[in-house]
């Protein structure tokens, strides 16, 4: 258990400036302390054990690379779980993009060649989503872009915009609802 965010911050600052062997030791300590928490959180987000395992591995690679960036503004656990959330979101987006691309493939049993038509349809769908986002009022558009496109947390968005995290959460919800309620360009 952590007693304060100051102690781990100093520990990570020291480790970031220490030799690579020391960084590996701190990574092992972090994996031992938070590995189960990371895997469980990743599993709750992805709902697949193999994906949760991949997310967990990627999280600790990111933690290793970013040891020197920990600012101590939160607990180490919060920092690592934030990385977990963002990494899981990246994996979900990649999986969604993969499914979209597979849906555009032609012919059963053929070599996964995409037709020009399926590629054009994918581009139209992406363009349609951005057109809807751009039609949103500024306060909704801004939080949606910071969250979806730039992968920022609610706390980070709140800090950037100078508003509370609760306001960010509310605006994100309203923005998503507004985008879902917008009609298709052909009037459907």
Please state, rounded to an integer, the average pLDDT across all residues of the chain: 76
Q: What CA–CA distance (Å, rounded) separates 90 from 113?
A: 25
Of 53-57, 100-104, 110-114, 137-141, where does mean pLDDT reach its minimum? 110-114
Sign of the Cα torsion 108, 109, 115, 121 reads positive
User: In sequence order, which ranges of the chain are alpha helices (DSSP H)?
Assistant: 6-17, 20-46, 49-65, 76-103, 116-135, 138-144, 154-161, 165-181
pLDDT band (50, 70, 90) for residue 165: very high
Walk me through the domains of the chain, giving residue ranges and CATH numbers: 1-103 (1.10.1740.10), 112-188 (1.10.10.10)
**CA gap 139, 15 in Å, rounded:** 40
pLDDT of amino acid 5: 43
Band of pLDDT at residue 171, cut at 50, 70 and 90: very high
34-37's contacts with Cβ under 8 Å and 24+ in sequence apart are 34/76, 34/77, 34/80, 35/60, 37/77, 37/80, 37/81
- Can you give the pLDDT at residue 15? 52
Q: What is the pLDDT of residue 150?
A: 66
Instruction: List Cβ neighbours of 156 (8 Å cut-off, separation of 6 or more).
Output: 146
pLDDT > 50? residue 2: no
Check: CB of residue 91 under 8 Å from CB of residue 55. yes
> What would the mean pLDDT of 79-86 be, rounded to a whole number?
88
In terms of pTM, does the model score above 0.95?
no
Cα three-residue angle 25-28-29, rounded to 5 degrees: 90
Location of structure tokens 């879902």: 180
Residue 164 has pLDDT above 90, yes or no: yes
With beta carbons less than 8 A apart as the criterion, state whether 147 and 157 touch: yes
Residue 67 binned pLDDT confidence (cut-offs 50, 70, 90): confident
Q: Which two tokens stand for residue 10?
A: 């100093």
């Amino acid at each position: 258990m952590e007693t304060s965010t100051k102690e781990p911050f100093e520990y990570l600052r020291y480790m970031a400036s220490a030799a690579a062997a020391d960084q590996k030791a701190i990574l092992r300590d972090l994996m031992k302390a938070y590995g189960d928490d990371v895997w469980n959180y990743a599993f709750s987000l992805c709902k697949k054990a193999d994906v949760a395992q991949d997310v967990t591995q990627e999280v600790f690679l990111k933690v290793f690379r970013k040891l020197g960036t920990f600012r101590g503004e939160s607990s180490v656990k919060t920092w690592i779980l934030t990385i977990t959330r963002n990494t899981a979101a990246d994996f979900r987006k990649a999986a969604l993009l993969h499914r979209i691309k597979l849906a555009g493939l032609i012919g059963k049993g053929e070599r996964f060649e995409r037709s020009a038509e399926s590629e054009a349809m994918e581009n139209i769908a992406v363009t349609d989503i951005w057109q809807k986002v751009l039609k949103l009022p500024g306060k909704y558009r801004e939080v949606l872009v910071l969250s979806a496109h730039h992968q920022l947390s609610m706390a980070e968005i709140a800090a950037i915009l100078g508003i509370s995290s609760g306001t960010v959460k509310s605006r994100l919800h309203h923005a998503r609802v507004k985008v879902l309620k917008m009609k298709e360009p052909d009037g459907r």
